[in-house]
Amino acid sequence: MAKLEDYRLLCFDVYGTLIDWETGIITGLKPLLEQLGSKQPTAEQILGVYHELEKEQQSQTPDMPYSQLLATIYSPFASKFGIKEPTAQEAEIFGQSVGKWPAFPDTVDALQRLGKHYKLVVLSNVDRESFHASNAGPLQAVKFDRIITAQDVGSYKPDLRNFEFMLRTIKDEFGVEKNQVLQTAQSQFHDHHPAKEMGIKSVWIERQGTMGNQSKQIYDWKFVTLGEMADAVEKEIEAGS
């Protein structure tokens, strides 16, 4: 039976897996939601509407940078809740908020530990500038061996082109084959289902998240946090030494 230590490269989703995108999104939407006063929707309702708007916009404009995409869906989000039309400047502020979304408490330490055993690669749906802000800030400049964004590919996950681009890149740059990769992610919709279609093994970092959940759960390993995955890898290596 395969072990985690048998693989050479971890391909990470970032927002939802390393960065607490649900908290970041709700915080970014707070100026709109405050207008509802005491009639606040639940977090699940907020994230459900947001996720559907994001998914639809990504499908319609696959080459639109993520920060611009966020600004674009800000007004439709307000409309869904009967909130007055926000200004273009307010939408722009929301679009630029990505780099301020917080990392999960275990993320940086787990990445540093995992980086001793694997190549660390990012395959994210954001744009280069937004990821750079996250990496310089909440991710504390942790070192990744390769960063691939939707802006680089020209499409958004779960489009298989993103995974094909990643596989070509890591083979060319590191000599890593598909069977040596673990897609490491929270979202079933964005990552695990397309990874399965591509024949890539995956680790589900559940995070007890809402967005990207599917009724059918696909994974080869499952952990609640990335820290738990790092613990499991170290135990395997220690047991084999």
**pLDDT above 90 for 178:** yes
pLDDT, mean of residues 57-82: 96
Same CATH topology for 4-20+100-240 and 21-99: the answer is no
13 is catalytic: yes
Q: What is the C-alpha to C-alpha distance for residues 192 and 77, in angstroms, rounded to an integer?
A: 27
pTM over 0.75: yes
User: Average per-residue pLDDT in the chain?
Assistant: 96
Confidence of residue 240 (pLDDT cuts 50, 70, 90): confident
And the tokens for 71?
A: 């600004």
* 21-67 pLDDT tens trace: 999 999 999 999 999 998 999 999 999 999 999 999 999 999 999 99
C-alpha count within 13 angstroms, C-beta hemisphere, residue 93: 11
Domain coordinates in residue numbering, the chain? 4-20+100-240, 21-99
B/e letters for 85-120, b = 16+ CB within 10 Å, e = fewer, are ebeeebbbbbbbbbbebebbebbbebbebbbebbbb
Decide which of 1.10.287.370, 1.10.10.10, 3.40.50.12780, 1.10.150.750 is the CATH code for 21-99.
Answer: 1.10.150.750
Q: Give the burial class of 238: count Cβ atoms within 10 A of its Cβ; 0-12 exposed, 13-18 middle, 19 or more buried.
A: exposed
B/e letters for 59-78, b = 16+ CB within 10 Å, e = fewer, are eeebebbbbebbbbbbbebb
**CATH classification code of 4-20+100-240:** 3.40.50.1000
Dihedral of alpha carbons 158, 161, 162, 167, sign: positive
**pLDDT above 80 for 75:** yes
Q: Write down the catalytic residue from 13, 20, 106, 127.
A: 13
